[in-house]
């Protein structure tokens, strides 16, 4: 009995760093827990600081977050003293925060407006709103550069200009400076549909040919007219909604110009004849109102002809 009791006391007397072993294990676990807790708190603080910085510099927070995660990944790869377990805690924390913020911003408009920003009106009725320009932290040169990208070179032509949250600018031009369209002159125009690639690398694509509304025999005649003697001679063939066939042969020296739809020259000639007739009516009439109407319509039609002539003469 005495021997057994001494063995029990000996087992309890094992020391680590001057303390019982079980107490040392508990303290080591507490230290690890405190380290990971500190990493999580630091990650949350860094994430919030990143959001505030992104809003301050008017950058999209997802872009800044991507750069930060990339920098952290590079640090883990290059710094051998950085523990992988610590990096995993940081990555996991940021991943959860990013997902949570994206999910919450879908349902909470106030949060969405804060993290993503809201559109800012920079130009209204051709007038620059200086306060909004300063609020967006933009200079006049920055604004003019964005406007030129939208083919708006004159501020007087801009009815409405809005800086979007992604940094792009949306422009609505005044009605009197917008390009004339067939709808403005009440001219019927056939809708343009997507073209189809019907031959690729010498192989016919039956599904695309059927979707385009044509048959194999028709396509065979079209590619023969442009120099092909076999399907394998064609590197690429495309059919548009007007029946024009573009053919690219493997032997480019045998390539003929694409066959044009014969109705295009007739349409161009008809437009020019109508424009000439309107000018003649303006000269012949004695009614001032009718004369002005004929002249205005002829001028609009002339603009339309100049716009569509490059397409109709191809």
Encode the chain in three state secondary structure. Answer: CHHHHHHHHHHHCCEECCEEHHHHHHHHHHHHHHHHHHHHHHHHHHHHHHHHHHHHCCCCHHHHHHHHHHHHHHHHHHCCCCCHHHHHHHHHHHHHHHHHHHHHHHHCHHHHHHHHCCCEEEEECCEECHHHHHHCCCCHHHHHHHHHHCCCCCHHHEEEEEECCCCCEEEEECHHHCCCCCCCCCCCCCCCCCCEEEEECCEECHHHHHHHCCCHHHHHHHHHHCCCCCHHHEEEEEECCCCCEEEEECCHHHCCCCECCCHHHHHHHHHHHHHHHHHHHHHHCCCHHHHHHHHHHHHHHHHHHHHHHHHHCC
Residue 150 has pLDDT above 80, yes or no: yes
Percent of the chain scored above 90 by pLDDT?
14
Q: How is domain 197-253 classified at the CATH fold level?
A: CRO Repressor (3.30.240)
The pLDDT confidence band at residue 199, using thresholds 50, 70 and 90, is very high
Residue 10 is predicted with a pLDDT of 43
Q: How far apart are CA 151 and CA 173, in angstroms?
A: 10
Residue 197 has pLDDT above 70, yes or no: yes
Q: Structure pTM? A: 0.49
Nearest-Å Rg of the Cα atoms of the chain is: 36
Domain parsing of the chain, residue ranges: 19-113, 120-176, 197-253, 264-312
Topology alike, domains 120-176 and 197-253: yes
Per-residue pLDDT of 96-110, as tens digits, reads 888 888 888 888 888
Per-residue pLDDT of 13-71, as tens digits, reads 444 455 554 455 555 555 656 778 888 888 889 888 888 887 777 677 777 788 888 88
The pLDDT confidence band at residue 5, using thresholds 50, 70 and 90, is very low
CATH class for the region spanning 120-176: alpha beta
Residue 174 is predicted with a pLDDT of 87
Residue 58 is predicted with a pLDDT of 67
């Amino acid at each position: 009995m005495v021997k057994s009791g001494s063995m029990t006391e000996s087992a309890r007397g094992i020391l680590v760093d001057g303390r019982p072993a079980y107490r040392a294990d508990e303290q080591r676990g507490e230290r690890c827990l405190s380290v990971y807790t500190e990493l999580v708190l630091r990650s949350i603080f860094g994430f919030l600081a990143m959001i505030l910085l992104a809003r301050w510099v008017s950058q999209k927070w997802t872009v800044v977050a991507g750069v930060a995660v990339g920098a952290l990944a590079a640090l883990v790869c290059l710094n051998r003293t950085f523990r992988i377990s610590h990096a995993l805690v940081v990555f996991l924390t940021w991943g959860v925060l990013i997902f949570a913020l994206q999910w919450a911003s879908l349902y909470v408009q106030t949060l969405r407006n804060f993290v993503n920003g809201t559109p800012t009106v920079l130009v209204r009725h051709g007038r620059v709103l200086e306060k909004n320009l300063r609020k967006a932290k933009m200079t006049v040169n920055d604004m003019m550069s964005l406007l030129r990208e939208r083919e708006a070179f004159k501020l007087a032509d801009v009815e409405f200009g809005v800086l979007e949250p992604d940094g792009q600018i949306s422009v609505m031009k005044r009605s009197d400076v917008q390009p004339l369209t067939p709808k403005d002159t009440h001219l019927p125009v056939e809708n343009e549909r997507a073209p189809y690639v019907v031959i690729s690398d010498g192989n016919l694509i039956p599904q695309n040919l059927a979707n385009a509304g044509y048959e194999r025999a028709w396509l065979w005649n079209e590619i023969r007219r442009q120099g092909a003697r076999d399907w394998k001679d064609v590197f690429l063939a495309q059919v548009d909604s007007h029946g024009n066939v573009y053919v690219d042969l493997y032997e480019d020296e045998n390539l003929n110009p694409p066959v044009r739809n014969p109705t295009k020259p007739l349409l161009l000639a008809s437009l020019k004849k109508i424009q000439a007739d309107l000018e003649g009516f303006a000269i012949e009439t004695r009614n001032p109102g009718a004369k002005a109407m004929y002249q205005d319509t002829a001028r609009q039609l002339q603009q339309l002809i100049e716009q569509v002539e490059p397409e109709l003469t191809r």
